A and B are shown apart, each in its own frame.
Chain A
């Protein structure tokens, strides 16, 4: 009998282990769809709408939706109206791929914007390639995405977003030369974005005479950073290299405050350090923080200011983030490309992008032969609880030889 019972326990155990992935929340079905007519141009939007990165997805949807409204209000594209079809990737590559397939086979979209998470975008590239659907990425920063695009292989993937290589280089340079942070501990998110950013930072360590003394990567949804922060305190580093998720930044900041790291160890990297709500969670921790972002609400320029005002007016005064901006701008870019190509066919728009120049809020955008937009990264230092812009840099990417 005892033997039998042990068997039952083992069975329960194996069910427990086997079901781990199945327990994650399932995506909600999208709205019921009417079959497309010729007067509508459908743009699929793949973004993480549930799970640890859902905040980003919400911003992306609101930004993109605002652009669609603006374009349609101004008469659409040669009389055709734009329509946004959102799909949830949960920031998981497998979910992102099935969301992409659903958009292509059921919603019949010819244009897709997505994803925010680099790991998902990397998985989407071969899918759109096979289906000849134009993928315009608006927010993934891992360099691999366009290493593999254009002359690198995938002909249907474009990216309207600067990369982590540029980000890592300018963040480290500023942190080392201006802030004199030379000894770093790594605490980044365990993903293609977090690990990728650290790999590129390592490339420039010797240039700036800096060193990394320890490396830790956190899982999405991690909430207990005390053990790592305790270790970091004992290492005597000047700064933490944090390429992380915006939702996790306040948790880390609060626990840094609690662990007595505020004012002693600075945050360097990316994770919406510049957002007012983030700084509010632990103002003392963010003083001296260094971050590079594709855009921030404080960016000067008429187009940028007009976007912030329109966004706030449309969404109850909410301050837009980087992802809201890049998705808004990318929808406008696609619309402009359609107008310039005088076509809403994916193939013709794609061919036109090679020679196309678009005036974005951060400067003119052109695509290189890897279908990567030449865009600046904006350098920010947090001074007395306020983000201060310390410059913007654009660099041609040094593509690895295959």
Chain B
């Protein structure tokens, strides 16, 4: 039984790492824009599609496909950020909901139009199982957890110590003051959005070998999982997002393993409702930031 507990815990950490990587982009974008990005999961999907495409079409190696996924999405996010997201800076929150929801539908359906609605199989990644103590884990899962740790360490350092990171934090606190002291708010918002979308794409390519399938609607469920995480983590909080992601992953894994797989997706929604009712400012802060 102890073996099983440990295994479910590890499964949860792997799943949670993916959630956290996707959610951190969303939470940072929310921090600077104060707008929920309903299209966030679509960047996860686009990144995976780009990686699948280069493997399928050019027989690229997996590392190249990771790079392709991230670069393609960074470019797309740059264009969308410049054309759409930038305009949401001072807009009411309804504008953000409508604009990003519209983007979500457009991106999904463009992919369905171009590549068809069917599932594609993702070939690539490192699926050899490794034996670690009592459990077997694909190398890819270890890669996911290790990469997540590195990315979060990097983000934490960036947010605390670099000029852009400090500017991001400043914009997330007070836009008017930033403008007064000469911070280019447009540039900060655009950079945050591109970084966040690229991270979503990165996590998509990272998990594609485990999820095996790639299709146009794959971003929707992950978007909904991230809502619960960013609220638990405290909107805009990088460290909180990682812990909240792991927490959701672990609880989901235990629910799937001990209660029933059919109840797994309810965990995130229940967490979302409970958090909004009792701690809308997140698990880790004592007062609301927004």
Chain A residues with a Cβ under 8 A of chain B: 2, 5-6, 8-13, 15-17, 19-20, 22-26, 28, 49-52, 54-55, 57-58, 187, 190, 215-219, 221-228, 230-231, 234, 247-248, 250-251, 254-255, 257-260, 281
Contact indicator B224/A25 (Cβ below 8 Å): no
Report the bound CA distance from A72 to B279 in whole Å. Answer: 66
Of the candidates A5, A20, A228, A254, which one forms a contact with B257 in the assembled complex, judged by CB atoms under 8 Å apart?
A228
Find chain B residues with CB under 8 A from A260 CB: 129, 136
Closest chain B residue to A88 by CB distance? Answer: B117
A219 touches B262 (CB 8 A): yes
Q: How far is the CB of B280 from chain A (nearest CB, A)?
A: 5
Q: Is the interface of B mostly helix, strand, loop or mixed?
A: helix
Residue of A nearest to B35 (CB): A12
Q: By the criterion CB–CB under 8 Å, are A50 and B257 in contact?
A: no
Chain A residues whose C-beta falls within 8 Å of the C-beta of B289 in the assembled complex: 5
Chain A CB within 10 A, most for which of B36, B257, B269: B257
In-complex Cβ contact of A216 among B121, B217, B262, B280 (8 A): B262
Judge whether B118 is part of the interface by a CB distance below 8 angstroms: yes
Given contacts A230-B7, A231-B258, contact A17 B118 (CB under 8 A): no
Known contacts A55-B119, A224-B15, A228-B261; 8 additional CB pairs below 8 A are A6-B281, A10-B276, A28-B113, A54-B119, A216-B260, A218-B261, A219-B262, A227-B11
Taken together as a complex, chains A and B put the C-alpha atoms of A70 and B256 apart, in Å, by 49
Q: A2-B287, A187-B261, A260-B136 are in contact. Are A247 and B93 (CB under 8 A)?
A: no
B136 touches A259 (CB 8 A): yes
21 interchain pairs (CB within 8 A)?
A: A2-B288, A6-B280, A6-B281, A9-B235, A9-B290, A16-B227, A16-B272, A17-B272, A17-B273, A20-B224, A23-B101, A23-B105, A23-B220, A24-B217, A28-B109, A54-B116, A216-B256, A227-B264, A234-B3, A255-B210, A281-B212
Counting CB contacts under 8 A, is B62 at the interface? no
Partner of A17, one of B38, B116, B269: B269
Chain A, Cβ-Cβ closest to B219: A23
Residues of B within 8 A of A231 (CB): 4, 257-258
Contact for B213 among A6, A228, A251, A259, CB less than 8 A: A251
Is B118's CB under 8 angstroms from A58's CB?
Answer: yes
Also in contact, A230 and B216, with CB within 8 A (given A190-B262, A216-B260) = no
Inter-chain CA distance A210–B209, complex, in Å, is: 36
Q: Decide: B129 and A257 in contact? CB cutoff 8 A.
A: yes
> Chain B residues with Cβ under 8 A from A10's Cβ?
276, 280
B148 within 8 A of A: no
Chain A residues contacting B211 (CB-CB under 8 Å) are: 223-224, 251
Give the shortest distance, in Å, between B88 (CB) and chain A (any CB).
14
Known: A221-B218, A227-B8. A11 touches B288 (CB 8 A): no
Assembled-state Cα–Cα distance A222/B263 (Å): 12
B253 at the interface (CB under 8 A from A): yes
Measured CA separation A8–B273 after assembly (Å): 15
How far is it, in angstroms, between the C-alpha of A12 and the C-alpha of B280 when the chains are bound?
A: 11
> Does B108 belong to the interface (CB within 8 Å)?
yes
Contact A25 B109 (CB under 8 A): yes
Give the residues in chain B near A258, CB-CB below 8 Å.
127, 129, 136-138
Q: A50-B217, A223-B210 are in contact. Are A8 and B93 (CB under 8 A)?
A: yes
A227 shortest CB reach to chain B, Å: 4
**Is B223 engaged at the interface, CB distance under 8 Å to the other chain?**
yes
The answer, among A52, A217, A223, A257, for a CB contact under 8 Å with B260, is A217
Contact B4 A217 (CB under 8 A): no
Q: Does B184 contact A (CB under 8 A)?
A: no
Contact B276 A221 (CB under 8 A): no
* CA of A281 to CA of B119, assembled, Å: 15
B72 at the A interface (CB under 8 A) = no
Chain A's closest residue to B7 (CB) is: A230
**Closest residue on chain A to residue B221 by CB atoms:** A221
Q: Which of B109, B212, B215, B258 contacts A250 (CB 8 A)?
A: B212
Query: Which chain A residue shows the least CB distance to B96?
Result: A12
A227 touches B231 (CB 8 A): no
Interface pair A13/B231, CB less than 8 Å apart: yes
Min Cβ gap B59→A in Å is 17
Instruction: Provide the residues of chain A in CB contact with B112, threshold 8 Å.
Output: 25, 28, 50
Q: Tell me which residues across on chain B come within 8 A of A25, comparing CB atoms.
A: 105, 108-109, 112, 117, 216-217
Nearest chain A CB to B233 CB, angstrom units: 13
**Complex formed: what's the CA distance from A22 to B217 in Å?**
12
With A228-B257, A231-B257 as contacts: A13 and B217 at CB distance below 8 Å:
no
| Residue from the list B101, B212, B221 in contact with A22, Cβ < 8 A | B101
- A226: B residues at CB distance < 8 A: 11, 14, 253
